[in-house]
Structures are given as C-alpha cells and as structure tokens.
Copies of this chain bind each other. A is one copy, B any other.
C-alpha cells in the first residue's frame, strides 16, 4: 500500500486544473506550458505526490518487475549473482521477484508459472539440474516474454545468454592438476542435463587429451541433483575413493559439490592433497582459509548478474523486436592453493 496516498487529482484540485493536464505536466509533455509545468512540479513536491506504480502498470501493461529463477539463493555463487541483478534492476526502476527451484523441474515450472501470473516484464533464469525439457519456457518466449539465460542455459531458445567461461576454467584447472603431477584425475560434476556440466567436462577432457592422459569413464561421476543431496556426493565419492584404482586428484564442478566433498574428505580422514588432491569450482571467499587452502575456479557472479540484467532490460525496453542475440562469456579465474600442491612436496 502506498501510504503517501496523494494522487494526481489532489494536485489538479489544488491548482484548479484538470488531472490530465497534471499527468502531462508530470511527464514533461510538450503540449503543456512551462508555467503550468512549474506550478505542477512545485505542488507535487510540496504535497508529496508519488505516482502509484500499480495504476501506471495497469495502464501501461508493464509491471516494472523481473522474475528470477535460481536453484537456491543460499549459495555463494547465486547470492552474488542476485546481488548483481538487484543492483542493476534497482537502478533502472525495476524490482525483482526471486524464486527458488531447489533443483526440481516441477518447482521450476511452478515458479515460472507463478512469475507470469505476477505479470513480469522479463525473466532471468538458470535452469534446474532436473530440467531436460523447456517447453514451459518456449511458450512464453514465443508469446514475446523477454528471457535471458545465465549460468545454466539451453540451446533450444534463441535469446541472450550470459555464462562463465566454464570450458576454460575447467581446462585450466585440469592442466594445473596435471602440472602438479597428478594423472589420475577424477571429475565429480552435476547433472548431465545442464549446460555447465557439458562445458566443464569438455575442458577437462581436452586438458587430459593434450597431456596424453587417457580418459577413464569411471572417473567421471554425475550428481543428478547438483549435490543438493548429501547422499549423492557421498555415493560418488566413495565409489572413487574405495575403488581398485583410486584417483589421486578430484576436480569438482560446482560450489556445493566442492565444499561438500571437502567436508566429506575430512570426515573420512583423507589427507589433502597427500591422499588425494582437490580443486573445484566455488565462489566462497573462504577458499584461502580452508583446511587446506582450497584451489578453486572462481566465477564472476556479480558481473554475471549485472550483465544478464542489462541485457534483459534492453530487450524489455527495446522499441522493435530484438532479433540479434548474444552469448556473453565472462572469464573465470583459477586460484592454485595448497589443496592441489605438487605431488611429493612436503610442506
């Protein structure tokens, strides 16, 4: 509720002119005399007039709000992205409606539906790990809803996308492990459904290939729910750790998986990196003070949020339908710390 319930009519009455004149004056229309404009502006200021956004929205058919779909906000990477989204949106007079899928396809559909009920002007989405089919988005896209994908995208819709350089991040990370002397490098990753999994996998594979290390399929473990369930990571990890051919290094592909893996290795009393090295994607600012300090691939979360929102708003506000789309790839940074120290070096 707007508690400054001063309307255009109040100004009109005060000045003895018509509401429509006031409206025009406030919008700085050319068909209003400078004198009247001055009076209106002064009066609006004086009696504390604030436009009612709901009335404007109803009239204009725009809600000035954008919907966000992420897996969960309680995650370093996504909270940074949302931080970025929020700042750009706010600066442009938009507010954001955040919804969480918890990696569930059903919840993703429900959330998208809920958002359209709320009359959003555009959608920013990072797909859930369960999502294979995006018909729920195709329909909306066809009807003209501006959509920008970030992080976990889909090829099935042509629109703007913003991702981190997952390929290079993974490539670089794997190369660093190889340089440090590890050869049996396992990869614990998210669901095959999501784009980031494929991109990271490719980087990992190329690094191995270039270094003449044969790919061992048993070293690649997928977590269908992106590590949401502790059990799936526990399962993947124990298959790796208690196999005949235990890997000497782990390359983990997401924030949740990386930190959970670290915690599990602790619990299992594995020494890092002596028993097994660890390097993973994570955006935690605590990487340097973990035990051991954690080698990591960092994604520019805030920038990703900002860029995606800028693109979305430009689509929303574009006069003519946008037909040229862009996929922005933001650089990742690899930090080498103790958890991937060279083999055989005693600290």
Contacts and interface: CB of A to CB of B under 8 A. Distances in A.
Interface string A52-63: 111101100111
A169 B227 CA distance: 31
Residues of A in contact with B, size category: 35 or more
A47 interface: no
A140 to B, nearest CB: 6
Interface string A256-280: 0001001100100000000000000
B121 A1 contact: yes
A55 B58 contact: yes
A204 to B, nearest CB: 24
Interface stretch (A92-100, A160-168, A172-180): A92-100
A346 interface: no
A86 B58 contact: no
Contacts of A62: 1
B291 A117 contact: no
Nearest to A3: B143
Contacts of A291: 289-293
A116 B79 contact: no
A50 B117 contact: yes
A119 B58 contact: no
A140 B3 contact: yes
B83 A72 contact: yes
User: In the assembly, how many copies of this chain are there?
Assistant: 2
B90 A54 contact: no
A285 B140 CA distance: 38
B293 A52 contact: no
A10 to B, nearest CB: 16
A53 B1 CA distance: 14
Contacts of A1: 61-63, 119-121, 145
A145 B97 contact: no
A82 interface: yes
A34 interface: no
A73 B86 contact: yes
B259 A119 contact: no
A288 interface: yes
Contacts of A120: 1
B82 A73 contact: yes
Given A50-B117, A54-B54, 5 more contacts: A2-B119, A74-B83, A259-B285, A263-B288, A266-B288
14 contacts: A1-B61, A1-B62, A1-B121, A3-B144, A53-B118, A54-B57, A54-B58, A74-B302, A86-B98, A95-B118, A262-B286, A262-B289, A263-B286, A284-B284
